[in-house]
Amino acid sequence: MLRKILIGIGAVAAAGIAFAIWRVPGQDSAMARPIITITTHIAQHTSTFFAENPQIDPQPHIRSEASGAYYSDVNLISFVAHAGRQNEPEGYALRYRKGDCDVSLPTGRAIALDYTAGFFKYLTSTLPLDPLSFDNVMELAQEIADSFDAAGWKRSRYNPEISQETFGERSVGGRFEILGQWVLCNEDPFYAAIKVQDFNSLPTAPMVPLVPGRSPSDDQPDRYLIEVQFGVKGLSLDNELTELRDARRLAVNGDKTTALTLNDWMDDPSWRPDGWQGKFVK
């Protein structure tokens, strides 16, 4: 079962992003800005992630620039490229790579990496750079699906008969449809899933309205986004990382409720309790 049927929009909201990030129709960029590629995989540790992505400054993701406080050992790392902001990248492209398993997604405006004890448990990319018409978004979603098929991944769920007339009739919390789910890298229980989202039905935060303070009008043509999520089915990875997190909290603080920081895990990512027998984290 997908976790909240993909976390992308909610994950970025948890990071406190409260601005529109997509381009207002007719708005053009004043100048070309870079596309930043983020390369990672499920169960990668943040220390390895930053070492393998030198284009990313780790400090803003470890410690709040506003308060100076270190972020908790359970949080997310988010990347958001707002349309028209010349001091930000044009967009972010997620590349999933683990050994020979290597798939690149199209460029989007938001990537969220959800972690516990510094290990990633969900990766979500929200794309493309701007909302699309129904026909165009379905074409792009199918291209992503084809890339998963080309990688040799087994489909565990597939719904190519999505229509605009019945779009999102059975969905809750916004109008969406799941195009499909794949066994990620053919390693069960890892999965990759593609969700098509009605942009106009999204809540007013974090990524709409198109202009802060104004919601999409009722007569605006329907437009759509895609969320792609990588994760592990069920709670097995969640439970293992929570056990590891709690063991270190107990060792350091004497209780499991007092949080450590991501920086603690960055300083010593190989910490394990005596007798640790992890399935995902060795």
Place of tokens 């989202």: 197
pLDDT surpasses 90 at 15: no
Between 65 and 220, name the one with better pLDDT. Answer: 65
pLDDT surpasses 60 at 25: no
pLDDT surpasses 80 at 18: no
13, 205 contact by CB (below 8 A)? yes
pTM: 0.86
Residue 188 lies in a domain: yes
224, 131 contact by CB (below 8 A)? yes
User: Rounded to whole angstroms, how far apart are CA atoms 115 and 112?
Assistant: 10
111, 124 contact by CB (below 8 A)? yes
Full residue range of the structural domain in which residue 31 is found: 3-238
Residue 262 lies in a domain: no
Q: State the amino acid at position 75 in one-letter form.
A: N
Task: Give the model's pLDDT for residue 261.
Answer: 98
Q: Backbone phi, then psi, for 149, in 5-degree steps?
A: -60, -40
Q: Backbone phi, then psi, for 45, in 5-degree steps?
A: -85, 150
- List, for residues 154-205, the tens digit of each pLDDT value: 999 999 999 999 998 888 777 899 999 999 999 999 999 999 999 887 764 3
Rg of the chain (C-alpha set)? 19
- Per-residue burial over 103-130, b if 16 or more Cβ lie within 10 Å, else e, is bebbbbbbbbbbbbbbbbbbbbbbbbbb
Cα distances from 8 to residues 14, 37, 112, 163, 226, in angstroms, run: 10, 17, 6, 23, 10
124, 68 contact by CB (below 8 A)? no
The pLDDT > 70 percentage for the chain reads: 83
Could you write out the DSSP letters of every residue in 13-68? HHTT--S--SPPTT---SS--PEEEEEE-TT-BHHHHHHH-TTS-SHHHHB-TTT-
Average pLDDT of the residues of the chain: 86
Task: Give the model's pLDDT for residue 51.
Answer: 98
Residue 263 lies in a domain: no
Between 280 and 203, name the one with better pLDDT. Answer: 280
pLDDT surpasses 60 at 17: no
Q: How many domains does the chain have?
A: 1
Cα distances from 183 to residues 191, 231, 279, 280, in angstroms, run: 5, 10, 18, 16
- List, for residues 232-267, the tens digit of each pLDDT value: 999 999 999 999 999 999 999 999 999 999 999 999
Residue 257 lies in a domain: no
pLDDT surpasses 70 at 209: no
CA angle, residues 176, 136, 126, in degrees to nearest 5: 50
Q: State the amino acid at position 167 in one-letter form.
A: F
Residue 192's nearest CA partner among 138, 157, 164, 230 is 230
Residue 271 lies in a domain: no
221, 116 contact by CB (below 8 A)? no
Flag the least confident range among 34-38, 85-89, 109-113, 127-131.
85-89
Task: Give the model's pLDDT for residue 214.
Answer: 41
Task: Give the model's pLDDT for residue 22.
Answer: 58
Task: Give the model's pLDDT for residue 67.
Answer: 95
Strand pairing category for 91-98 and 35-40: parallel
pLDDT surpasses 80 at 211: no
Residue 132 lies in a domain: yes
Residue 174 lies in a domain: yes
Helix (H, G, I), strand (E, B) or coil at 241: helix
- Residue 72 DSSP symbol: B
pLDDT surpasses 60 at 31: no
Residue 56 lies in a domain: yes
124, 3 contact by CB (below 8 A)? no
